[in-house]
Amino acid sequence: MNFPVEPLALVAFLVLGAVAGILAGLLGVGGGLVLVAALAWLLPWLGVVPAEQAMHAALATSLASIVFTAMASARAHGKRGSVMWSTVAWMVPGVLLGGWLGSKIAVELDGRWLRYGVAGYCLIAAAQMLLSKPGTAGETARQPQGAGMTLAGGGIGMVSAFVGIGGGSMTVPLLTWLGVAPVRAVGSSSALGVFIGLASALGYACNAPVGALPQHAVGYVYLPAAIGVALASILIAPLGARIAHAISGPALKQVFALFLLVVGTSLVL
């Protein structure tokens, strides 16, 4: 049988998907920051994407796979009652518009600036998580709503498109600051990640130059990697959700910050 990519590449994409699935359930993100860092190195090394297009391809492919990773994670959290659907509904219009606009702008930027932007974002978000104080109240049925949440969704969607993530590192701190329990913030963030991934990945696919990647791609989305990551992550995401429900709020926050520090430092180096 003639495979479109080498078996080694397929194995690598599946392993990345497993990591993304754990992070999606545990931290409310689709593992996007890890995927971007890994794919930006892996795709050129495998010879499937030109080095000068690697960062754009990594961002687009990460966002495409996040759609399915976040869907599996949101389903797992939803079964446990930790998705605040009314809050999600208010934020969805903003994240859709922001994700599309962010990816449209990112397509025009040089890959080096995108890489430094991702690294800087990781380090800033980690510092914010470590230094911020907990919000008021957190274990009740509080569900933030209103136009302010839609505007916040727009900013989260736009930044997420620039750095290739499902928005968890912004949505989770925002919701916990507003008094939401960390595990409910994670569950709601997972649901929003589906819409962020959809809008952003479509932007990278539709706004990329014609023939941006040599083969097996739609715009900047490299399909073999997106499919391989998605398949593994869908199976693994429920495990991360179970772990999240077993960890205390402060501990979950520390795990989140450590994760961001490691990824940001790796991109800088």
- The domain segmentation of the chain, as residue ranges, is 7-268
> CB 33: neighbour CB atoms within 10 A?
31
pLDDT digits (tens, 9 = 90+) for 240-261: 767 766 766 667 667 777 877 8
> Which has more confidence, 122 or 40?
40
Query: What region does 78 belong to: left with phi over 0, alpha with psi -120 to 50, or beta?
Result: alpha
What is the pLDDT, as a whole number, of residue 27? 62
What is the pLDDT, as a whole number, of residue 137? 46
Q: Which two tokens stand for residue 1?
A: 């049988």
**Average pLDDT score, the chain:** 83
176-182-183-188 Cα dihedral, nearest 10 degrees: 20
Which of 105-114, 145-154, 232-241 has the least mean pLDDT? Answer: 232-241
Which residue reads 């495979």 in tokens? Answer: 3
DSSP letter string, the chain = ---SS-HHHHHHHHHHHHHHHHHHHHHSS-SHHHHHHHHHHHHHHHTSS-GGGHHHHHHHHHHHHHHHHHHHHHHHHHHTT---HHHHHHHHHHHHHHHHHHHHHHTTS-HHHHHHHHHHHHHHHHHHHHHPPP-S--SS-----SHHHHHHHHHHHHHHHHHTS-SHHHHHHHHHHTT--HHHHHHHHHHHHHHHHHHHHHHHHHSSPTT-SSSSEETTEEHHHHHHHHHHHHHHHHHHHHHHHHS-HHHHHHHHHHHHHHHHHHHH-
Mean pLDDT of 196-218: 89
Q: What is the CA radius of gyration of the chain?
A: 17
Query: What region does 137 belong to: left with phi over 0, alpha with psi -120 to 50, or beta?
Result: left
pLDDT digits (tens, 9 = 90+) for 41-74: 889 988 888 888 899 999 999 999 988 888 888 8
Distance of alpha carbon 90 from the chain centroid: 20
Query: How many residues does this entry show for the chain?
Result: 269
